[in-house]
A and B are shown apart, each in its own frame.
Chain A
């Protein structure tokens, strides 16, 4: 029996990383929000690696934090080890990563949702999305739970992760299930199909978990966290703890031999797995087959939390039968007597072809229906979280009658991620990578605050005080930068000595401080001894000063490119164009444009199969129509 259970502005389907951010932002923007999840104890679950951040993903988390999202703070609060990766590779690619206490993270997030005004967190499987006709288009009208409760809503955000018709595969054993023994969501898929959304089937996988007591760490390499304080959040009051350690070991010839001898038992190679797998997340059998000449592969032992002995074996993802998995894992140094608590598995699930979405993450087909996270064809907690946030913001803006918020490629990795998804689509779970951003020297993790704060502030998600603080910080940076450009240092014994020590070219006449900072071999901090007038500045500010001076040339060039980019991005395309009727376009261009329905000329030009001549013709056609 169905019954009317009440009314909300927005229903968020799922309380994983996308759902959490979507629900929080909608509620914080003042909307009455329902967040429904299959199991309340799995809110903010980390079903795969127990870590947040990493390369490019760390950028996403920091951008999200600067916008007013929750993930950064949650990771900081529950972190048990923190590292800044790529420290030797230049500031543009520094990447923060935290090992999180999985149970604490879930609890933190559940509590955050529970404490949020306007937000109702409910354990319920949503099985149907109700629609009504509105201006000749379907629009979201309500959601239905598996026990028949109907909630009337104006918008729904699908954040179903890997749960849609999910199937777990371990060797020749397959069964319907979500991750960690949770129920799959089987019915919603049928509803989405009926609504006409193009669904695809993707595959991902996760390695085994083992009991730390059965591991011989004495033969492994210790991996400690950073000595200095690192955090995701720009909120400096949070202190991150660095209490846990990881260990490194390797596979060996014996491991590889076992894998090769049992390949016929792998569902990947016997054709049982149909979903499209991830190249950047290959199983150990993939690695051994594709990189046959590699003698060993690294494996990391990562703790799942402080209150448990369970450990995650990074690098040993597999869908082999359990008996083969046991032989594989026990061939590894230090894991000879290991006790496996959960075997590795592959998981297949339904998700949407993201080109069916607008850059707001609203579906083109159904007004008020949004998608975020793995449902949109991505992979990773961080990718999911930023999409959840952006889908939430745009759903809220639509209901509140405000302009939509689209972050572009020149502003943030978030913009790059969403633009790639909705413009180019993806044929495997999409992972954020540094190389995907063309503006990575201006889109650094360290300056995410100045890049995003304005947007967060205008949405009411960043307080005046916090926003002021960001502006003040960059004023100070700019002031110091100017001082360095203006201050001339005369030659002196002290300077000569410093330059000699650092193997830097000697100075005969005077030299500007900024020119010294620009020398790759000299560091801003080291120049303090010849710079008596230097003001006392915080670590964060000194870092900004150094980067902005050292990379000034690159930054200037990228900024100019970004401005150029913004020009085409600001040329909006009317939403109601029927491209099939534009005869001046080539047929392929017409079809592609009709499918993607780009929001502006810039986006149109990034669609593969649309040529510069098509763009010119399109611009002129639009102009003609306008007149």
Chain B
């Protein structure tokens, strides 16, 4: 089995390293990495692109491949040196899992290294401690997570699969009993439901990681509309807590704040205008990209002046965009702008003064309302190990459903159902075979 994991800390940093080990390491690299020039050569760094599961470029990275036994673990290995953005790294891991690797358990690389004779005994002792402490932390973590909606959902999906298995086995193991026949369409329905539920859970992963990394929120507007003061006002506002040191990513100033328990990634962008200046143009392009990637766009107008051509350009580009919250700033000075026109073009228009703080509470409330999870009981999946398990289980369920439709015997279909239940059991830490047997006796009247 090929394993993969982030080798550096899971936080924003210059470089994030992903490590892959196992027979299939080279195969995985073939799927997730495309060299920029030429081919990958062993034990040399190759520049290239990291690809998502659907083949899109995620990042420009360096890749190193090591062949067994000349590697840390003694197996075929690969390392990817990515930019240290948690979003990129998570995407990379997902892509790697999709290519056939699974999440490494705590200390698993070191364990493999040890078993392949790559570590000495004193190192090994350190590993034991590491495995112990990490798995305990993981267990605490998992227990917390599994107490909630997510755990219940997984248990309920798994329960359905186990019931399906139990029904099949009750029929098989007790052919003489009056047990209702097992219909293919019935099985298909159950599998279909399980697939949909699991799929929905998988999709929350995206949102889960957004919540963890911060929801991107761009502050856009023409030059001197008061974007930076709005950023500062929001950052310094008593109800919003500044959680991070501002990092300057090229021309975009980022600030993480927390509103109603949700992390928000505020990004102050360059003023948008047509510019002949090459350097400024580059900044503006980046600003546009940042705005497009955002979930919330605070479109700021300077209330103290008439519309200018740059404002008109913004209006035509962003009117009708439901991500936009329109802000008419500088209420502390005389308001000249045609407010009615703005209100006719945008659904949400707020008036405020970044300088005095007037109207800021309303803006915060509006943002809070937008970033609140759709449903309060929504289970969010944030752990890549869970997503990897769910993806594997989903594959099994799809295969089982497909076999059902094609009319394959239930002896084959149930193998995939059982495998799916077993994989989901890895999340909840429950054994499967015994549960199936219990389920048979609980539900069916069987015996001599």
Q: A interface vs B, CB < 8 Å?
A: 48-49, 54-56, 85-86, 89-93, 95, 206-207, 278-282, 287, 290-291, 294, 296-298, 300, 314-315, 317, 424, 433-436, 438, 440-441, 520-521, 551, 554, 557-558, 564, 584, 608, 611-613, 616-617, 619-621, 623-624, 627
Contacts and interface: CB of A to CB of B under 8 A. Distances in A.
9 contacts: A93-B172, A297-B178, A297-B445, A315-B176, A435-B166, A521-B407, A554-B412, A608-B431, A620-B124
Contact of B448 (A90, A279, A314): A314
A585 B197 CA distance: 38
Contact of A613 (B131, B415, B434): B131
Interface in B113-129: 114-115, 121, 124-125, 127-128
A58 to B, nearest CB: 11
A366 B165 CA distance: 41
B121 A92 contact: no
A612 B169 CA distance: 29
B408 interface: yes
Interface in B132-182: 132, 135, 165-166, 169, 171-178
B111 A620 contact: yes
Interface stretch (B252-260, B386-394, B435-443): B435-443
A621 B111 CA distance: 12
Contacts of A207: 448
A298 B178 CA distance: 7
Contacts of B108: 616
Contacts of A315: 176, 447-448
Contact of B176 (A291, A300, A557, A613): A300
A611 to B, nearest CB: 7
Interface in B392-448: 406-412, 415, 418, 431, 433-434, 436-437, 440-441, 445-448
A205 to B, nearest CB: 9
Contacts, number: 135
B444 to A, nearest CB: 8
B24 interface: no
Contacts of A296: 178
Contact of A616 (B1, B107, B125, B434): B107
Nearest to A612: B105
Given A90-B411, A520-B407, A521-B407, A617 B173 contact: no
A441 B448 contact: no
Given A90-B410, A93-B172, A297-B445, A616 B124 contact: no
A287 B178 CA distance: 13
Contact of A558 (B124, B125, B415, B441): B415
A434 B169 contact: yes
B121 A56 contact: no
Contacts of B408: 520
Contact of A92 (B406, B411, B437): B411
Nearest to A296: B178
Nearest to A282: B447
Interface of B, secondary structure class, is helix
Interface string B226-270: 000000000000000000000000000000000000000000000
Nearest to A56: B173
B120 to A, nearest CB: 9
A514 to B, nearest CB: 16
Contact of A554 (B135, B173, B415, B437): B415
A374 B111 CA distance: 41
B35 interface: no
Interface size class for chain B?
35 or more
A558 B106 CA distance: 27
A564 B1 CA distance: 9
B412 A441 contact: yes
Contacts of A290: 445
A451 B307 CA distance: 84
A294 B447 CA distance: 14
Nearest to B443: A291
Nearest to A250: B178
B83 to A, nearest CB: 32
A424 B433 CA distance: 12
B411 A55 contact: no
A85 B127 contact: no
A440 B178 CA distance: 24
A435 B440 contact: yes
A2 B172 CA distance: 53
A89 B172 CA distance: 8
A287 B171 CA distance: 17
B431 A280 contact: no
Given A207-B448, A291-B445, A93 B411 contact: yes
Q: Top 3 closest A-B pairs, CB basis?
A: A90-B409, A90-B411, A92-B411
Nearest to B122: A624
Contacts of B124: 620, 623-624
Contacts of A48: 448
B173 A435 contact: yes
B412 A551 contact: yes
A488 to B, nearest CB: 22
Contacts of B434: 424
A617 B105 CA distance: 13
A616 B406 contact: no
Nearest to A551: B412
B170 to A, nearest CB: 9
B433 A55 contact: no
A300 B178 CA distance: 12
A406 B111 CA distance: 28
B177 to A, nearest CB: 6
Interface centre among A86, A290, A617 (most CB of B within 10 A): A617
Contacts of B115: 619, 623
A231 B38 CA distance: 63
A197 to B, nearest CB: 25
B448 A86 contact: no
Given A91-B411, A92-B411, A564-B1, A617 B131 contact: yes
A608 B430 CA distance: 10
A617 B106 CA distance: 12
Given A281-B447, A435-B433, A611 B176 contact: no
Contacts of A93: 172, 411
Nearest to A584: B128
A558 B176 CA distance: 29
A624 B448 CA distance: 53
Given A93-B172, A433-B437, A298 B177 contact: yes
A280 B177 CA distance: 12
Contacts of A297: 178, 445
Contacts of B172: 55, 86, 89, 93, 95, 434-435
